[in-house]
Amino acid sequence: MRRLIIGLLLIVSTVASAQDIRSSDRGDWSHMGGAPTCIGGSGCTERRLRVPLEDRPVIAVRFRAHDFFGTKQEGALRIKIDGNTIEDHLDIPKKGETFTIEVEELRGRYLVFEPARDDEVEVSEIAVLYGSRPRRTPGRDDGWDRGPRGGGGGGGRDGWRSYPAASGCIGGDTCGRNGDRITIALERAPVLGVRFYAHDQIGQRADGRLSVRIDDKSIDPYIDVQRAGKRHELDVENVYGSKLVIEAETDDEVEIKDIEVLYGRAQRGGGGPNGGRREMTHEGGCIGGSTCGGSRARIRIPIDGRSVESLRFYARDDIGTKAGGELRIRVDDEIVEYALDIPREGRTFTIDLKGLEGEYLFIEPAENDEVDIKDVRIRFAD
């Protein structure tokens, strides 16, 4: 009898472990558990908090923190993955708040929380969102690689992949504990569409608005959420990215559910978006300044470790009244152009990248001014 009980416990443990792995593969948050931890100041015994990570790229970190200890209200956190700082100085309110920090697919052994000031901060409800594992047999997984609107899948599946665990209420006083955004880890394939149901029936206000983006690429910056609720369906033009972000744009509660993503067919022969081609293109976009997303806006193009020969694009700085547009070009952390001056009337630039290899090529503002970028072409070495 005892052996039978032990055997059943092992089976249950194995099934639970498999469910955790599948859940993680679906882009769900991995909850780290543990009691709330107080760090910093004179009232906390711990000087920092270290959370072990899986050997997978991290795309977002979520946690709750408050500065309810003592008379000072100067709590601030520094957040790192091993020695890489992902947030240098995050102010923590006394009443507490749920924070979501986006990460550029960093790997590491530990997620580290440290006080940025000499004041106590309590950290709890830590969760990590890992990037999706590459799939060995795209086209045979449920809801994967079936083309748009039923092109290639049997059994009535049309290529939409659902994320039920991501549903929830965000924003406002009632749902602020959940934070102000929903973040989903995306598969390594182009996104063709996003759809979800949203309503604004919580609380007295009816001012719910949402924005949707993939990494730094805006899909829809202004979605007015109806109080009675509505299903929103957004067309996406073959955008690759690591995460889908649905964010509350006002301080009002919005409930979101039935989130689905339509993936296109991943390119064959190259192991990624390049598909082994000598040249790839990107539509570009407007980045920087108050009109185009600020200094943190950027264009990020996955190059999957390939050797880049050259980059060509058209850029102009005739948006707004300022004429101080400058761009920084880098491959991962290696800067190729620190401050490329962009003329107001526009011109085409060709930059020699000297065979640099990396996971991503970045085009980002060097000054907080709007720059419009078009016709991006990346040429790879043979």
Fold (CATH) for 279-380:
Jelly Rolls (2.60.120)
In the chain, % of residues over pLDDT 70: 82
Look at 12-21, 68-77, 107-116, 148-157 and tell me which has the smallest mean pLDDT.
148-157
With CA atoms as reference, report the closest residue to 263 among 204, 170, 189. 189
With CA atoms as reference, report the closest residue to 316 among 305, 328, 326, 329. 326
Radius of gyration of the chain (CA): 23
Inter-residue contact 302 to 359 (CB < 8 Å): yes
Look at 82-86, 129-133, 260-264, 344-348 and tell me which has the smallest mean pLDDT.
129-133
Q: What does the pLDDT look like over 78-134, one tens digit per residue?
A: 999 988 888 889 999 888 889 999 888 888 899 999 999 888 999 999 999 998 654
Q: What does the pLDDT look like over 169-195, one tens digit per residue?
A: 998 888 878 888 999 999 888 888 899
Inter-residue contact 67 to 92 (CB < 8 Å): yes
Query: In the predicted model, what is the mean pLDDT of residues 325-336?
Result: 91
- Most confident region among 26-40, 54-68, 288-302 by mean pLDDT: 54-68
- Please give the pLDDT value at position 14: 39
With CA atoms as reference, report the closest residue to 79 among 105, 36, 48, 44. 48
Q: How far apart are CA 183 and CA 324, in angstroms?
A: 33
The percent of the chain in helix, strand and coil, each rounded to the nearest 5, is 10, 50, 40
- Please give the pLDDT value at position 22: 39
- Please give the pLDDT value at position 267: 52
With CA atoms as reference, report the closest residue to 311 among 359, 272, 361. 361
Q: Would the pTM count as exceeding 0.85? A: no
**Amino acid identity, position 152:** G
- Please give the pLDDT value at position 150: 36
Please determine whether the domains at 148-263 and 279-380 fall in the same fold group of CATH.
yes
- Please give the pLDDT value at position 147: 38
pLDDT at residue 272 greater than cutoff 70 = no
Determine the CATH number of domain 23-130. 2.60.120.260
With CA atoms as reference, report the closest residue to 380 among 275, 267, 283. 275
Q: Quick one: pLDDT band at residue 223, thresholds 50, 70, 90?
A: very high
Q: Quick one: pLDDT band at residue 266, thresholds 50, 70, 90?
A: low
Residues 6+ away with beta carbon under 8 Å from 204: none
Q: How far apart are the first and last CA of the chain?
A: 66
Look at 10-19, 111-120, 160-169 and tell me which has the smallest mean pLDDT.
10-19
Inter-residue contact 340 to 373 (CB < 8 Å): no
Q: What are phi and psi of 226, to 5 degrees?
A: -80, 145
55-59-62 Cα angle (round to 5): 105
Domain ranges of the chain: 23-130, 148-263, 279-380
Determine the CATH number of domain 148-263. 2.60.120.260
Q: How far apart are CA 241 and CA 128, in angstroms?
A: 18
Q: How far apart are CA 308 and CA 55, in angstroms?
A: 27
In the chain, % of residues over pLDDT 90: 37
pLDDT at residue 149 greater than cutoff 50 = no
Inter-residue contact 79 to 111 (CB < 8 Å): yes
Q: How far apart are CA 196 and CA 219, in angstroms?
A: 14
Inter-residue contact 109 to 148 (CB < 8 Å): no
Distances (CA, A) of 36 to 73, 82, 147, 224, 318: 19, 21, 45, 36, 50
Residue, of 18 and 372, whose pLDDT is higher:
372
**Taking all residues of the chain, what is their mean pLDDT, rounded to a whole number?**
80
- The strand ranges marked E within 9-120 are 30-31, 37-39, 49-52, 58-66, 76-81, 84-91, 97-106, 110-115
Q: How far apart are CA 192 and CA 264, in angstroms?
A: 6
Query: In the predicted model, what is the mean pLDDT of residues 208-231?
Result: 90
